Structure 1
């Protein structure tokens, strides 16, 4: 089975580019995520952190 996969992968043109593209997507995602974390306001982070608790409180009141 592994021999079949290896032989099949060798027939694909430009197959060596896929790992580099995957690494680039991974890197860009985490750079953007880091930028968002560093620029997010504390009020927004606090509001998002309290969302799960607010749903429980609203259900108890009903």
Structure 2
């Protein structure tokens, strides 16, 4: 099975760009996620973290 996949992938032009695009998407996603985490307001984080507790009391 692996020989078939390797042989098939070698016939695709520019197949080496797909892993680079995937890595770029992964990196950009986590950079944006870290940026959001560090810039989120403390009030919003506190409000969201208390939602499960508030839901149980209702």
TM-score normalised to the size of structure 2?
A: 0.91
* Residue matched to 1:5: 5
Structure 1: runs of 5+ lacking an equivalent: none
Cα deviations across residues 14-56 of structure 1 (Å, max 9, x unaligned)? 1100110011001101110111011100000011111112221
1:22-37 superposed matches below 5 A? 22-37=22-37
Structure 2: runs of 5+ lacking an equivalent: none
Q: Superposition RMSD on alpha carbons, in Å?
A: 0.8
More moved, 28-37 vs 49-58: 49-58
1:32-51 superposed matches below 5 A? 32-51=32-51
TM-score normalised to the size of structure 1?
A: 0.86
Q: Which aligned segments of 4 or more residues in structure 1 are displaced greater than 6 angstroms?
A: none
